Structure formats: C-alpha cells, structure tokens
C-alpha cells in the first residue's frame, strides 16, 4: 500500500478514535407544575465552533428519531406545541439550545431530546424526562408516582404508586393496573389476576395494599436495557352498588436502566457516534496494515532485503 495513503489513514484513525469533541448534554430529570413554564436545558461542545456559519437546534419528544417539535433555523414548531415553545438558546455565543415550554400540561410529561446539527453532523443528547404534576388539591382523586428512577441491569427496582379518592366512595374492591410505554400503552400487570403479561411475566412482584393503605407499588426483577421506559399506575374501584370508577397517573415514572454490555451501550449512542464507531472499525484494520507495511519498509536496509 502507498505510504502517503497509509499516513492519511493513520491520521484519520487517530482523529476518529480520539472522538470528534462534539457532545450534547441535558439534565436527566425535570419537574414542572400544570400551567406553569419550564425550561429544558441543552448545552453542547464542538471543536470548530469559531469557524461555523450555521448551527441548527432541533427538539424531539419520546425518541430521538421521531418528528421534530421544534427547529431553530427555519423557526418551525409542531402544531401541538405552537405558541408554547420559546427558544432561549444562543448556539454561537454560549453553545446552548435550550427552550422554555410555556403553559405545560399533564400530557406534556415525556422524554425530550435536544439535537444539534453542525456541518452535516447531527448529535443528540441523552434526553430529559419531564414530569408534569397537577396542582396540590386540584383533584379529589389522583395517582402519585415518582417522576424518574434509575436502576442497574440484572437488579430489581420498586416503582412506588399511591393514590387517593373522595370520602364519598365506598369501595368493595380496588384493582391496580400498570402500563408501559405511554398513558394508553401496553398493560403489563393487573392485580385482580395478580399476574404479569408478555416479557414481564414472572418479573413483577405486587407490593401494594390498595384497600388498606391506598398503594399499588410493584417491584420489577431481572432488569435489562429494554426495561428503560415510562410506567403508568392505574386504579379501578368497584363500589358497593357495582359501579366501576377508574383513573390513572398522567405523568408516570420513567425508569432508566444502567446497562453494562457493549452491545446495549452502542444501541443507545446517537447517530453521529455510531458513524464514528463504524469508521473506526474500518480505518483501524487498514491503519494496522499500513503500520506493518511501513515497519517492514524501515527494516529492509537492516536485513539486506531488496
């Protein structure tokens, strides 16, 4: 292989493997109150910030690959958020892309991802869990959950759930349900049958005491990376006269499972990081071949080889 080409490959390998220096950072968890504003902070670093002409900031909800709810350069805001997002960032001066969400609603509880686009590269932050709580005393019945929890892979975690209801209710029985993924997500547990469903079968332990203590907590065992998600606790009361009354947490709990396997970590990387890893996997073997070639070339005069 040509020595000059080898040197270029070696330089590229060092550049890729040392990282591009492009990072996006966000807080893990923020709480807000209904009808109040909340700031979603986003900061970033880039080694070539002084020579840039355009920096675009984009925000997405739930997953980093879903549709944008906000774009900085073309001043776009998704219909459901129109008039409720104010851009606070200063991309060039302060390397920020923060937004303020005005008049938050309970249904705004979700995970928000800040994405920064520079020189055709898009890097996405780890996401911020926003938990919007109803005002204290604004309801006669409610379900209370922690907004955010962390746990380790292969371990277990308790997802607390407590609730209240008016004194006029006379429950004959109370059932607790848990859903995953969203307010209308997949049901994974029903206390009336005391069993878990799907991939959660055999992994959910019911800790609640609905009638005595007004709780519906569960313990989730043998955690894995796929368990990172939103979990929603619901309550259904069967009254003495046979009427069913049900309600559910609107914000839920986001569970973040810390994984240790390389495969799962790679799955959680942003698009830009994945591209970097792919480039390293391609360039490193080539660079190693080049190194061998250059080394043999230097040894030739010593060994007397032509």
- pLDDT reading at 233 higher than 90: yes
Q: Indicate if 124 and 147 belong to the same structural domain.
A: no
In this predicted structure, the answer to whether residue 147 has a pLDDT above a threshold of 70 is yes
Q: Encoding tokens for residue 59?
A: 């925000």
Same domain, 80 and 54: yes
pLDDT surpasses 60 at 112: yes
Domain count, the chain: 2
> Tens digit of pLDDT for each residue in 30-52?
988 889 999 999 999 887 665 56
181 pLDDT higher than 60: yes
170-to-163, 165, 209 alpha-carbon distances in Å: 15, 10, 16
Whether the predicted model's global pTM rises above the 0.85 cut: no
Give residue 15's pLDDT band: very low, low, confident or very high (50, 70, 90): very low
Single out the residue in 98, 131, 164 at which a domain terminates.
131
Last residue of a domain, one of 70, 103, 131: 131
Residue 14: inside a domain: no
CA–CA separation, 300 vs 204, rounded Å? 67
CA dihedral 192, 197, 203, 207 (to 10 degrees): -20
Q: Please report whether residue 225 resides in a domain.
A: yes
**The domain containing residue 183 runs over which residues?**
139-258
Q: Are residues 124 and 95 part of one domain?
A: yes
Lowest-pLDDT range, 13-17, 22-26, 58-62, 154-158?
13-17
């Amino acid at each position: 292989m040509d020595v000059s080409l080898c040197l270029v490959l070696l330089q590229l390998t060092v550049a890729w493997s040392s990282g591009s220096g492009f990072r996006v950072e966000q807080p893990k968890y923020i709480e807000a109150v209904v009808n109040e504003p909340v700031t979603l902070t986003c900061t970033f670093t880039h080694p070539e910030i002084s020579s840039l002409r355009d920096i675009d900031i984009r925000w997405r909800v739930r997953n980093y690959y879903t549709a944008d709810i906000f774009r900085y350069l073309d001043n776009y805001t998704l219909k459901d958020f129109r008039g409720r997002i104010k851009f606070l960032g200063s991309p060039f001066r302060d390397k920020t892309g923060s937004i303020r969400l005005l008049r938050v609603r309970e249904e705004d509880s979700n995970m928000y991802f800040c994405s920064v686009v520079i020189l055709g590269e898009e890097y996405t932050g780890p996401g911020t869990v926003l938990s919007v709580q109803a005002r204290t005393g604004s309801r006669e019945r409610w379900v209370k959950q922690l907004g955010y929890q962390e746990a380790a892979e292969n371990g277990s975690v308790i997802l607390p759930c407590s609730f209240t209801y008016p004194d006029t209710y006379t429950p004959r029985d109370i059932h607790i349900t848990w859903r995953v993924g969203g307010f209308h997500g997949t049901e994974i547990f029903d206390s009336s049958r005391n069993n878990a469903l799907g991939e959660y079968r055999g992994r959910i332990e019911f800790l609640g005491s609905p009638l005595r203590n007004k709780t519906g907590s569960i313990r989730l065992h043998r955690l894995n990376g796929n368990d990172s998600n939103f979990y929603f606790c619901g309550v259904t009361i069967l009254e003495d006269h046979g009427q069913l009354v049900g309600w559910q947490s609107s914000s839920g709990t986001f569970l973040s499972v810390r994984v240790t396997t390389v495969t799962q970590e790679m799955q959680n990387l942003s698009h830009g990081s994945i591209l970097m890893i792919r480039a390293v996997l391609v360039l490193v073997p080539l660079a190693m071949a080049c190194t061998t070639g250059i080394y043999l070339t230097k040894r030739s005069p010593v060994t007397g080889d032509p």
